[in-house]
Structures are given as C-alpha cells and as structure tokens.
Amino acid sequence: MTARRGYPAVDRFRVAAALLVVCIHTAPLASFSAAADFALKTLARLAVPFFFTATGFFLLGELVRPGLRPRTLSPGVRRFLKKTGVLYAACTVLYLPVTLYAGNFPVKNVLGELVRDAVLDGTFYHLWYLPAALLGVLVVCGLLRFLRPGAAAGVCGALYLAGLLGDSWYGLAKQLPALKAGYDALFGVMDYTRNGLFFAPAFLMLGALLAGFPARRRPRACLAGLGCSLALLFAEAFGLRALGWPRHDSMYLALVPCACFLFLCLLVPRGGDAPFLREFSMLVYVLHPMAIVGVRGAARVLHAREWLVENSLAHFAAVAAASCAAAWLLARLSQRRRWDGRSGTAPKPDLRRARAWAEVDLEAVARNAGALQGCMPAGCRLMAVVKADAYGHGAPAVAGRLWQAGVRAFAVATPEEGAQLRRCGITGEILVLGYADAARIRELRRWRLCQTVTDPAHARALARAAGRRPLPVHIAVDTGMHRLGTDAGAAPAVAEMLRLPGLEVRGLFTHLAVADSPAPEDAAFTRTQLDAFEALARKLRGAGYTLPPLHAQASCGILNQPQPDCGYARPGIALYGALSTAGCAARLHPVLAPALALRARVVSVRRVPPGEGAGYGLAFRARRSTRLAVVAIGYADGWPRAAGEGRGHVLLHGRRAPVVGRVCMDQLLVDATDTGAAVGDVATLIGADGPERITAEEAAEAAGTIANELLCRIGPACPAFICAEKTKAPRRCAHNAAGLFLASQ
C-alpha cells in the first residue's frame, strides 16, 4: 500500500460529492437553463464513482498486492460489510413511511420485488448506493480470490461495459436485436444496470489498484488528465443526449478516467485526516431526501412554494442547508457519544482520581510517521514497529491510528502481539520479528502473520509444517550483528529458502548494529553491513531470483544511512518522537514530536529541617530547610529506581525539582522547596510543563538506560490515556481505542 499519512483532500471532497448528489435530486439550474442543469447533473455523476473509488482505495488496496490470494474476507472487509449492512437496514426503516406514503410499496410479487430492491435497486431511490457497495465489495473480493489483479480488473471493466449498454449507451444495444432481447430480459430482474453488479466493481477495483500499485503522482499531469477527461465526459453526455440513446444517465465511458484522475489529484495533498467529514458526508447523502420532503412540506405550510420549490436554485439551497444541519448535529452527537465512552468501547477515565498516568498523543505518532516517510526513498514503504505494546504507548491504539493514516505494514516481536492487533481489527502485513517455532504454524495462519525465518533449518521446519499452503515469511540476514539471521555470505542458503515450496517469501531484511553511533568507525561498520546486504541481493538477482522487498533501516538507519534499494523501512522509537539516547547521530533532522508524557500526583508536602534524613536508608540529608514533596509513582509503575538520589528531575509549576532519596515501589521524594508545590499538584516526569520539558532521552540517561527501555517499562504499569488533541473530547484508554480509529474506515 502506498497510503502512509492522511489524505485530507479526499475527506473534504466527500462533502462536495454528497452535495453533488443533492444536485442530482434537486436540479438547481432547471429553472434557468435545461442545458446548464444537464451539464451540472453530468458533473455530479462523478460523486458516486468517487465514493466507490475511495472505498476501494482504503478498504481493498492490500488485496491486490502481488502474490496475495485472500482465502477469506479480511477483518476490515467484514467490518465494512457489517457496518454498511446495519446502516442500510436503518435507512430502509427510516424511509419506509415515505415509501408507503408515495405508494411505492410492491403489491404484486411482494417477496420477489422486495428481494430485488434490497439487493440491486435499493429500498429508496437514493439508497441503491448501499447495496451496490455491499455487492460490489463481495464481487471484487471474490474475483481477487481466484484471479490476478489484472484479470480481475478486466472482468470488472467488462461488467462496466455491459452495464453501460443498458444505461447511457442503451440506444446502441437497441439497434442489435439479440442485445435488445438480452437487456429486456435483464430489466425484468433489475430496474437499472447502475448497481453493485455492473457499476460498483469497476470503481472499487480502480481504487484498490491505485492503492496497491502506487505511481509517482505529478500534480500538473493529474490536473491535465482530469481536465481532458471532463471534456470527454461532457462531449459524451451531450452527444448521447442528442442521439436520444440514454435509458438512464449514470454510466459513461469517460467516468472511469475522470474518477481516476480526480482521485489522483486528491491524493497529492498529505497531512492529517478528517474522520468527522467522512461521517458528515455520509449523513448528508442519507438524509437529503428526507430534507426534500421537509422543504416541500414547509413550502406548503408557509405558502412559499414559488420560492422554496419552483425556484430550483432556492430549493437546492434549502435542501442542502437542511441536510447539512441535520448531518452536522447527528455527526457531532455520534462523535461525542463515542468519545464519552458510552458506546461500550472504553470507559471514560477520571484523571482526578489517578495517582500516576501516561498521556499518549496519537496525532503526534501519525505526524512522526509522515515526517519519517519524508526521509525515506521514493517507493519505500513504512513498516511501523509496534512491539512491546508500541514501546509502551498502547499497540492497538497506535496501530489503529497509523492504519487510519495509511500505514499497512506493522512489525511485532511475538505471535501473541500480532494476534492482539488482528483481534483489534488491524489489517495489512504484520511481521513477527522474533523466533516462533514451527509448532505454532496454526497460530500464525489463524492470525495471518508473517514469520521471520532465522536460518535454513528453521525455514525447512516451517515449510514442512506449512504443507501445501505456503506460509508468508521474511528472511532475516546476518550482516554483522550476529543475532538472528543467515550469514550474508551464504547466498546458496538464502537461495534454498527462496525455493522452498512451503514458504511465500515476502521480504528479505537485516538489522543494523550501530546506526545510532556518530563515531567514524561505527559509521564505517554500518556501511559494511549495508554493502554486504546489497551484495547478497545482487548475487541472488544474478542467479535469476526475483527478490521480495528488502529492508534494513530502523529509526536511526532512516536518519543516517540511505538505502535506495529498499521496499520497507522499520522505524520504532522514532515513531514515538524519541531516539534511544540524546547523543544519537542524525544526518537528517525531521521534526519529531514526543508522543508520551508521564505525570503523577503530589500526595504530601512536608517541611524537613536541615540535617534531617528522609526515605529508605535516610539516603537524603537536607542541607537546608526543605519542602519535601511525595509524588505517587515508583518502580512498580515503571519509573527506574536508578533515577533517584539526585540523578533525575520532575517538573512542578513549570520548574525543575530534583528527585532525592531512593525511589520507592510506588512513591518518590522531590525537593520542592523552590517550586511552591502543594498536595494535589501534578508532577511531570516526562513531557512539558510550561516552558520546561523533560524528554524521554533525558529521563533515561538519568536512570542509566535508554529511552526504549524506559518507555517500555512505563507502558504496562501506568494507565495510559489518549490525548484528544484538537477536540474537546476527554482522554480515552489507549489500550482499547483502536476500534474508534478503525470504525470510520
């Protein structure tokens, strides 16, 4: 997948597309010019293809990855089908009174017509989109199970052409008796070919291909392509109208390139996404027919039919305003309900009762991923390392936010960590970096995990256990770290693993030992490792092997050592806005924001006279009259015992205060004489307080360790809350938040 960061332009255009659908059903320019209204309606026909393309891009892109043959529906697809099905059922109930009032309820062959409407035509005139999305996704997933992406795209294109002859090009089909008879029989089963069988699959597949086979996007070329495609669309629409060929006007040949170039243009701006706009636009789409009914009813009551109905532009404006107001209100209520924890996904935490806690800023993680992506070579994908509970930040929540931002590859340490992500709905590639015995093959299969192969014996054992169904793996190569992996000089051994029939090799990787060191000899050693890895790749290619994606760079490797021949890069600690130590070398300097703050409550303040001791072993001796604050955090909460006795600091009221005495199991002592601290105040151990900041690297150095270890120790011990940046929402439990970020997809 190419998606790595958010696509704000896509989310914003959803609103414009929803309003274009309102244009189709209200004809804003009909009172002024039939030709102008038809032109606007033709432009508005782009809305639904855009929606389908976006669904394919974000939902189905991983299915077209080379070598992948999904045997079952992925959790993301199942969740989409369930969510859309529930929405469709709710909308059917909502519009049932209007259907009955309009006399559209079938009276003959009730069961057959109800099934046809529910599956193909929609239970109300605009609701056809929802069953089309459901059926179209099933069609595309079914095709990709048995066919390669190119062949599946060809079938979708053929279905679209067949639907085209029953829609805007119907006049051509009528001229051929056999075709006319076939379409007449078809229209006995369905009202239109604009449905999930003929229409939706083409654009869903288009979106999947744009995500699965990324190309370099040139904004000017995309805009030029969009302009030419729109010109062809208008020429086609007006030409067919002049000929009198359309039976309906939803499907045009030029819609396909129009949707393609439009989506490519919208993919160019990168940054944060807007989940609220996704929900808002869908609600506008769903509610606007109800707004039409309401506006017409208001016109009758107010005797304003001339202004609110017969004036088509005013009618459109009133319907759009009513739809947007209702959609905005419902979207805000829905968002607030989810954040308040009343939806059952997570409890609402009360920080007033917390003694020590970590605050996790998921938006900082997403921004860091984007900044690191900017340091990577073109075509290199980001594989987010979320092992050790995402370095203590909460793996489900972090992976969920990164998935929302477009990351489709993750790395964990154990199969258990991978299974946790799958249970939380994370799709895409999940690589187990650590060793897993071949006896765990069922577990690896069940959770669709990629396993690291450590050596030829391990590879043969996995291949035997896999049998006829190849197990996805990445091969580890030892280039000098001497941990896991096959020696880089043993090209025949690596070639043997590539040939094993029970393995599907999806990656080849090594690990750099001293990429974080600024010492010249260490930089030379890192270059030697990369040279050995690249030499192995050249030998294998020279022997006729087609290699999977290569990857060698972790956090400091990305910042220091370019690797042009790479398919992935594996940032870990840098994703969370830190480096292992403050002295890590860095050739590149992206702006990385710390994603975790650690805070604890002051529970006692007392005066200690000069000469008095305090704490275990009376390790602290007051040299002056000292205000000693007790902070409710200790080594049981992950704060190192070695960070006491004057080596570490906390922030109180924006000022540094030294940690004195020995750190206890659940408390520590702080010299708060110069801070004005009082019981109930918040002490910051990592993070910012006013102008001052203590970084994870600084805190780790005081404890004689690295930021990686410190953060990993804190995460499981302290309750972690999501910082709801840019909203008024309260914080949420980080470990239960992944579902919130995935639900909007």
Residue 657 pairs in a beta bridge with 650
616 is known as an active-site residue: yes
Question: How far apart are alpha carbons 675 and 657 in whole angstroms?
Answer: 7
Report the candidate in 85, 55, 326 with the shortest Cα–Cα distance to residue 203: 55
Spatial contact of 461 and 446, defined as CB atoms under 8 Å apart: no
| Assigned token pair, 504 | 């599907």
- Residue 341 phi, psi (nearest 5): 80, 10
* Phi, psi for 398 (deg, rounded to 5): -65, -50
Question: From CA 666, how far away is CA 707, in angstroms rounded?
Answer: 21
244, burial (CB in 10 Å: exposed 0-12, middle 13-18, buried 19+): exposed
Furthest CA-CA distance within the chain? 108
For 670, list phi and psi in degrees, rounded to 5: -130, 135
At 175, list the tokens.
Answer: 């001229």
Integer Cα distance of 535 and 530 in angstroms: 8
- Of 478, 585, 454, give the one whose Cα is nearest residue 528: 478
Secondary structure of residue 569 in the 3-state scheme: strand
Consecutive H or E run containing 521: helix 520-542
CA atoms within 13 A on the CB side of 414: 5
Whether the Cβ atoms of residue 473 and residue 503 lie closer than 8 Å to each other: yes
Q: Determine the Cα–Cα distance for residues 76 and 682; give it in Å rounded to an integer.
A: 40
What does the alpha-carbon distance between residue 559 and residue 496 come to, in Å, rounded to a whole number?
33
Q: Give, as one character, the DSSP assignment of residue 57.
A: I
> Which of 690-726 are b and which e, b meaning 16 or more Cβ less than 10 Å from the residue's Cβ?
eeeebbbbebbbbbebbbbbbbbbbbebbebbbbeee
| Neighbour-count burial of 628, counting CB atoms closer than 10 A to its CB (0-12 exposed, 13-18 middle, 19+ buried) | buried
Measured distance CA(427)–CA(397) in Å, rounded? 14
Using CA atoms, how far apart are residues 530 and 231, in angstroms rounded to an integer?
A: 50
**Residue 509 DSSP one-character state:** E
> Which residue out of 82, 83, 125, 616 is catalytically annotated?
616
Between strands 471-478 and 503-509, the pairing is parallel
Contacts of 635 (CB under 8 A, 6+ apart): 641, 663, 664, 665
The H-or-E segment that residue 15 falls in is: helix 8-26
CA distance 165 to 43: 20
Taking the CB of residue 366, how many other CB atoms lie within 10 A of it? 26
Residues 95, 124 contacting (CB under 8 angstroms): yes
Q: Say which of 41, 170, 387, 635 is annotated catalytic.
A: 387
**Cβ pair 402, 576 in contact under 8 A:** no
| Closest C-alpha among 491, 485, 495 to residue 458 | 485
Q: Classify residue 138 by burial, with Cβ atoms within 10 Å: 0-12, 13-18, 19+.
A: middle
Helices (H), 219-268: 219-243, 255-267
Catalytic residues: 387, 616
